[in-house]
Structure 1
Amino acid sequence: MNDLASAAVPGPALRDAPGTPGVRAALRRAAPALAAYAAIRGLGLAVLAVWSAADGKNWHTLLTARWDSLWYTRVAEQGYGYAVQLPNGDVHSNLAFFPLLPWLERGLSALLPLSPADAGMAVAWLTSPAAAWALYATGERLHGPRAGVALAALWAALPVGIVQSMAYSEALFTALAAWGVYCVMTGRWVAAGVLASLAGLTRPVGAAVVAAVWLTAAVTLWRERAGGTGVRAALRARPGLLPGVLVAPLGWCGYFLWVGARQGSLTGYLDVQGGWGNGFDGGLAFGAFIWHQLSGPAFPAGLGLLAGVGLVIWLYVRGVRQGEPLPLVVYGGVVLLLALTAKGYFGSKPRLMMPAYPLLLPPATALARCRPARSWLVIGVVAVASAAYGAFWLNGSGPP
């Protein structure tokens, strides 16, 4: 633990200093990653437009007015309080959707000639490159510029990468989470706390960013104490640490408690999620679903699911063994744990794991060690496959 703490926890030298490169310099360094990201997502959108036209559908409608995007738009237009009761008695309440994206949709549509749905898509199109920039900065810091470019490109080319262009909250959340975790890695505690709080207002998995802030802060103080420095002295050396820790959970806890007060129960938000058939059971329902696939005619699909779960767990363990910093280990682990142990509609799991970008660090570092022609060939093939799959997926069952 001592070695992990010393290697993974930011020390005083990593705090902001007058010599820190400015935003413009950082943006210039990230330009290749942002260009690669834009090219991959542009390819995905072009394939979606062609596929949708051939299928008699509208690509714009698919991105802005289906599934969760309709719920976010309704919150932006009418506020909370809308619910649908299904024939089986389940109640789908819009309280299940965290408020930051609808707030932004409402604000942008009030300032610009955009509908709330188009504003939601605009938020996604603005924040997904911001997330790619954060991923580049993370990869660059740990393994160099080529790893940063590869990390941003791989995230763009995920099989469900098309969601990054939809009026969904994944792009917004990943941008806030990735920059928040980066701030923890670099000792910018107040910024990390604010970003963690905003991430907590965006999706339930915002708890993962809070955990990264809290556990890294705890290990930082523990290391200082083990080295003979008192806790008070350590806090004086890091004046932003305590405020960052205190601010970090405000968004997530605030919405959780507000829903509880509105529902008249401390577990009100969990009850709302239960109405959607969601919740956490330690992965029992997901395991039963995989077993059902394996034991029936859908055996190939079950085998694919099992291989996919094994792959993401292997990538997580691989990243830990490669010495990923503690904030990334904690954040990625919590996102992965919540995704794999949640019950509900299992087709959403790839989308739920999209913010788990630390899982892509091992393949990104491997690509960075390859010759540029080979690494770009691999990324290009993956990007084409992602574009085709995204268009097929969105014109079919899609990401509910």
Structure 2
Amino acid sequence: MSSTAFDVEAPEAVHENGARSRLAAALEHPAALWSVPALIYLFVRQVGVYVLQLVVDYQNELRGSAMTAMGELRSWDGEWFLGIAAGGYNDVPSRLADAAGRRTAETPLAFFPGYPALVRWVHGLPGVSVEGAGFAVSVISGLFCAYALFVLGRTVRTGSTAAGLVLVTLFAASPMAVVLSMTYSEATFCAFAAWALVGVVRKRWILAGVCCAAAGLVRPTAAALIAAVVLAALVAIVADRHDWRAWVGGLVAPLGLLGYLGWVAVRTGDLAGWFGVQQRGWNSKFDGGAATLKFAFEHLGNPRSELETGTVWLLIAAIVLVFYAFQRRLEWPLIVYGIGVLVMDLGSNGLMNSKARLLLPAFTLLIPLALVLARRRLSTVLTVLGLATLFSAWFGAYSLAVWQYAI
């Protein structure tokens, strides 16, 4: 572990310096390297679920409703994913509809197949319900993502074990990290994306290409990942044209996304079939950010709700983090990926209330914060991460149990 990790701010704090050294040694033990990232991730997410339960109970008393935390965790898009997992695209429950309340045979095609396919496989195990399978896939995916982020934090320039653990915590405590505990596809996508980027940084091109292709079957956000992986592979090929692994990784990377978009095109008889389903059902298309800019000015000039105003500030913070990533000289493929996710989020005119959630995959923008925070004294690190965990728990619980619109 880097000798600068969890640095002491006061020169007289000799005792804390010794404690830091002992902590550093403990974290380098193989058992710690395998267990601590998972334990941190599970603890932070459990805090989020616990706070959600508290808010649900309070709302039930206030409104006389009968909400449950588990019901909220499988709501909205989660119902679509579970429906596809249980019956495929042709047998999704008829009660589910798009944002306009309509439903056609093409409507379910808006949801990518990767996550429902994994849920279906787990559901095939004896005694496992489809809901249980959905939560299991999300939890396991989150753990795989946590390990990948831990590796990234150790691998990037000036990285360390401490930075990896801080990065895992920041990701698990992201403002909309509640979706990592839901029957949503974000945890699965982030797991594949994180391991693809580990492959890029470590120049393991087969790993990068395969994980990128898998991510393309989970979410359209894979377009940002494809850009990062393919560009990095091209740079490697220019440096060494005989690097066959870079050729394979770069060629395999876009196959998942292109494969699903092509399948939808054949099924709908329209080359832009998936985009048409999105626009007709959820009024979602790329408008260059015009709708987002209008939304931002409206809610900064006349705040109407905590969630919408908070969403605007989160978007602003993400833009600031891009510049900070350049300043900290983060590896350029990681910046390309983060910018790609942010551009896709800002440039879409779809549901504005989903924009905070759609920022979650931009986890590479958290790496510079993790690198800096890991060099502070331990008490500072724990305070910052504790506050982030509590804010994330409240923000996610409010979004699900109080806010009346989709996330």
The TM-score normalised by the length of structure 1 is: 0.85
In structure 1, distance between residues paired with 2:340 and 2:287: 15
1:372 to 378, 381, 385: 378
Partner of 2:150: 136
Which residue identity lines up with residue 133 of structure 1 in the other structure?
A: Y
In structure 2, distance between residues paired with 1:307 and 1:50: 26
1:195 to 201, 205, 211: 211
Partner of 1:215: 231
Equivalent residues of 1:192, 1:213 under 8 A apart: yes
Partner of 1:180: 196
1:63 to 73, 79, 84: 73
Aligned identity (percent) is 35
2:315 to 297, 305, 309: 309
In structure 2, distance between residues paired with 1:80 and 1:312: 35
Mapping for residues 1-400 of structure 1, pairs under 5 Å = 28-56=32-60, 57-64=67-74, 66-81=75-90, 84=97, 93-142=107-156, 143-222=159-238, 224=239, 234-236=240-242, 238-275=243-280, 276-296=282-302, 298=304, 306-397=312-403, 399-400=406-407
Give per-residue Cα distances to partners, 1:188-209, cap 9 Å, x unaligned.
Answer: 1111111001000000011122
Which residue identity lines up with residue 397 of structure 2 in the other structure?
A: A
How far has the Cα of 1:385 moved from its partner?
Answer: 2.1
How far has the Cα of 1:300 moved from its partner?
Answer: 8.7
Q: Structure 1 residues 390, 257: CA separation in 2 closer, same or farther (over 3 Å shift)?
A: same
How far has the Cα of 1:399 moved from its partner?
Answer: 4.8
In structure 2, distance between residues paired with 1:25 and 1:184: 26
Q: Structure 1 residues 308, 55: CA separation in 2 closer, same or farther (over 3 Å shift)?
A: closer
How far has the Cα of 1:159 moved from its partner?
Answer: 1.6
How far has the Cα of 1:107 moved from its partner?
Answer: 1.1
Q: Structure 1 residues 259, 334: CA separation in 2 closer, same or farther (over 3 Å shift)?
A: same
Q: Structure 1 residues 180, 25: CA separation in 2 closer, same or farther (over 3 Å shift)?
A: farther
Equivalent residues of 1:293, 1:301 under 8 A apart: no
Give per-residue Cα distances to partners, 1:257-290, cap 9 Å, x unaligned.
Answer: 1001111010111101101111111011111222
How far has the Cα of 1:299 moved from its partner?
Answer: 9.8
Give per-residue Cα distances to partners, 1:310-367, cap 9 Å, x unaligned.
Answer: 2211101111221111221111111111011111111101110101001111221121
Give per-residue Cα distances to partners, 1:22-52, cap 9 Å, x unaligned.
Answer: xx98774253332222211111122222332
Equivalent residues of 2:209, 2:250 under 8 A apart: yes
Higher mean alpha-carbon deviation, 159-168 vs 37-46, is at: 37-46
In structure 2, distance between residues paired with 1:356 and 1:172: 14
Equivalent residues of 1:30, 1:137 under 8 A apart: no
How far has the Cα of 1:120 moved from its partner?
Answer: 1.1
- Name stretches of at least 5 consecutive residues in structure 2 with no aligned partner: 1-27, 61-66
SS at match of 1:343: coil
In structure 2, distance between residues paired with 1:300 and 1:392: 9
Q: Structure 1 residues 315, 118: CA separation in 2 closer, same or farther (over 3 Å shift)?
A: same
SS at match of 2:221: helix
In structure 2, distance between residues paired with 1:383 and 1:77: 34
Which residue identity lines up with residue 314 of structure 2 in the other structure?
A: G
Give per-residue Cα distances to partners, 1:242-263, cap 9 Å, x unaligned.
Answer: 1111111111000001001111
SS at match of 2:112: coil
In structure 2, distance between residues paired with 1:382 and 1:202: 28
How far has the Cα of 1:291 moved from its partner?
Answer: 2.5
Equivalent residues of 1:30, 1:136 under 8 A apart: no
Which residue identity lines up with residue 67 of structure 1 in the other structure?
A: W
Q: Structure 1 residues 87, 201: CA separation in 2 closer, same or farther (over 3 Å shift)?
A: closer
How far has the Cα of 1:294 moved from its partner?
Answer: 4.1
Which residue identity lines up with residue 174 of structure 2 in the other structure?
A: L
SS at match of 1:280: coil
- Name stretches of at least 5 consecutive residues in structure 1 with no aligned partner: 1-23, 225-233
In structure 1, distance between residues paired with 2:398 and 2:198: 34
The TM-score normalised by the length of structure 2 is: 0.84
SS at match of 2:244: coil
SS at match of 1:279: coil
How far has the Cα of 1:388 moved from its partner?
Answer: 2.4
SS at match of 1:292: helix
Calculate the aligned-residue CA RMSD, in Å: 2.4
How far has the Cα of 1:239 moved from its partner?
Answer: 2.5
